[in-house]
Amino acid sequence: MSRSADDSGLAARLRAVASDVLELAQVRLELFTLDTREAFSRVVLLAALAAGGAVVICFGLSFLAVFFIVLLWDTHRLWALGLSTAVFLAGGLVLLALARAGLRRLACLFAATRSEWQRDRERLRSASAGPEPKDNAP
């Protein structure tokens, strides 16, 4: 085999490898984009639901507290105020705990992208650790 044929074969292999690398990068970038869109829509939905729910719950709890205070004003006004305060504080703590749990779940963002990158790294390591190609020297 002549030297120019070896060079053209090497160039063709390099072009094929470069093409494969670019295709792999494009696919991974598309996957990352899809994960980003999904995560963003999930965050926006959670924020909207949390804000709406918080407003409605605040109004409901406020009216409930006023109802009990007016109902018990003549007999147990301090108990009514204390109970309303305790309910609001307990509800606030529960909501904070739920928000914290939701933030922990957001740590799983881009899980598909990360797992695909990990598989790619493992494939590349196993391919580079494989047997050396044999030289076809004349």
Q: Say if CB 44 and CB 122 are below 8 A apart.
A: no
Residue type, 93: L
- The set of residues, in sequence order, having a beta carbon less than 8 Å from that of 138 and lying 6+ positions away, is 1
Q: Quick one: pLDDT band at residue 129, thresholds 50, 70, 90?
A: low
- The set of residues, in sequence order, having a beta carbon less than 8 Å from that of 56 and lying 6+ positions away, is none
Q: Quick one: pLDDT band at residue 65, thresholds 50, 70, 90?
A: confident
Closest by Cα among 10, 36, 11, 12 to 113: 36
CA trace torsion 102, 105, 109, 114 (10° rounding): 170
Residue type, 39: A
CA 79, distance to chain mean position in Å, is: 45
DSSP code of residue 110: T
Q: Say if CB 69 and CB 77 are below 8 A apart.
A: yes
pLDDT digit string (tens) for 4-46? 666 677 888 888 888 888 888 888 888 888 888 888 888 888 8
Position with higher pLDDT, 129 vs 60:
60
Within 13 Å of residue 120, how many CA atoms lie on the same side as its CB?
Answer: 13
Output the pTM of the full model: 0.43
